Chain A
């Protein structure tokens, strides 16, 4: 019952996040665009690790690869690794304050970006490193707002009682 209920909220938020990835931004903002999909996914993985685990992360990662025109599997690998870290540590991360959580999110986003960069480097398409990690920073700065928004959404639709 509960697990059926949860996808009613999770799927629309993931779709919105995917659309924000593609939304046209002015050129100077493009390099700071946070990885919406990863942020939203981190929240759901923290809120209900039972339902949102590594397998779902992999599927969503493949979708992200196709939208971004990346090598299929590139973002999927990064997302699987950070969701694995969350699945072992979520009880610890949940009790952190919002600022501490933002720091953890920054680390997770960095891990994911390094993995993606590593794959790009291996196939000889390594991008310019200058602003490459800026999205992780903007993502961490936006984390408290994303957290509160998604928590309220989850409570309104009473997806799960925990967290």
Chain B
């Protein structure tokens, strides 16, 4: 199993706000969540790639993550232009196959 750097994700879950609908389990591509006692729980925090699908789809606003694309080229392009990381796909980039 391929694993990336540990202890970096900005993912936060508020157990108070969670109503246990489970949409986060449906949209997460890395099985970060499970449902226990009708509440979502983060069970594999370091697998989070910060895609932002869970936070965007949580109807309770119980999830927060600083979403972005984990692409070094995007970070470089952003740094050169003095902006936030910006995916150059659609311009002249090699990512986004």
Are A and B interaction partners? no
Chain A interface residues toward B at CB < 8 A: none
